[in-house]
Amino acid sequence: MGSLSAGATLALAAAVAWSLYDLARRLLTGRMSAWALVVWVTLGALPVVVVWGLAAGDWRLEAGYWLPGLSSTLLNVAANFLYFRSFQLSPISVTLPMLSLTPVFSSLLGAAVLHQPVGGRAAAGIALVVAGAALLAAAGAGPGRLRRIEPGSVLMALVALCWSTTLLLDRVAIEHASVPLHALVLNAGVAAGGLLALAALRRTGELGSVRGNLRLLVVSVIVGVGALGLQLEAIRRVPIGAVETLKRGVGGLFAVVWGRAFFAEPVNARKLAAVALLGLGVALILL
């Protein structure tokens, strides 16, 4: 019971940290290109991860690590680009809630591969979270645009699919390596992937956009590393579906708050109803 309580606390802390990380990255998307952000956010995290690993004194690495570790890294390259690009195409209250699709994929994968059962209460909670996310996305489109498919929402749905898979791969990877080492591989690999993409596109000059945005980037990096560390520790103690549902439920709630406070996005009845569904769904999963 103590382990479950500690896991739930870690999962909640990770959810809040990811929400703050989403806000910082959304602010950066208005100032830098998507590929430049992929590079700088992950490259900037490397010193923090190294210090974390040195403090923990744990660089465990076993032979079984490389397949899940590198597979997660490759999927994260694509997911990070699509994530930043979606914010540049559509409002945060339309795009971010689409990540609530992640726990559906995560729970199904967790049940199939890790044999983590999905009970009736959890299944109902996941259904409510997904329904709330769909309603929130529609509400964010605004009057007269409810039938329009927002391009950012489509990209974010793909991100949800990628990240549900990477979370499972991360769970397997940290059975064969320490958490700091896996975080180091993820950040270094994604940064390298972003650099290769910019070089192939002959757009390496976009990296210069970091000038003038360094302070916000540093804050984003620190929060992001903290969120990743908390999440990796949480999935050791709590089923993947529960961790992701809490993460996306909290993220969906804060999407409305951030959209209103920072980007003047409207709050309407549909959004409030969606927030209620998200909150109820998370409660069914965890209580």
Between 35 and 101, the higher pLDDT residue: 35
Count other C-beta atoms under 10 Å from residue 225's C-beta.
Answer: 23
62 pLDDT band, cuts 50/70/90, is very high
CA angle (175, 248, 242) in 5-degree steps: 50
Q: Is the pLDDT of residue 1 over 70?
A: no
> For 119-138, what is the mean pLDDT?
79
d(CA 149, CA 156): 12
Most confident of 6-20, 40-54, 193-207: 193-207
DSSP class of 205: G
Q: Is the pLDDT of residue 218 over 70?
A: yes
241 pLDDT band, cuts 50/70/90, is low
3-class secondary-structure state, position 162? helix
Task: Enumerate residues 6+ apart whose C-beta is below 8 A from 2.
Answer: none
Between 227 and 4, the higher pLDDT residue: 227
189 pLDDT band, cuts 50/70/90, is very high
Percent of the chain topping pLDDT 70: 92
d(CA 252, CA 129): 9
Q: Across the chain, what does the average pLDDT equal? A: 84
Question: What pLDDT score was predicted for residue 192?
Answer: 97
Q: Is the pTM of this model over 0.75?
A: yes
Between 276 and 216, the higher pLDDT residue: 216
As beta bridge partners, residue 61 has 177
Tokens of residue 161, six digits: 């699919």
Between 241 and 152, the higher pLDDT residue: 152
Most confident of 6-20, 63-77, 84-98: 63-77
CA angle (158, 161, 164) in 5-degree steps: 145
- pLDDT tens digits, residue range 134-143? 776 665 444 5
Between 286 and 239, the higher pLDDT residue: 239
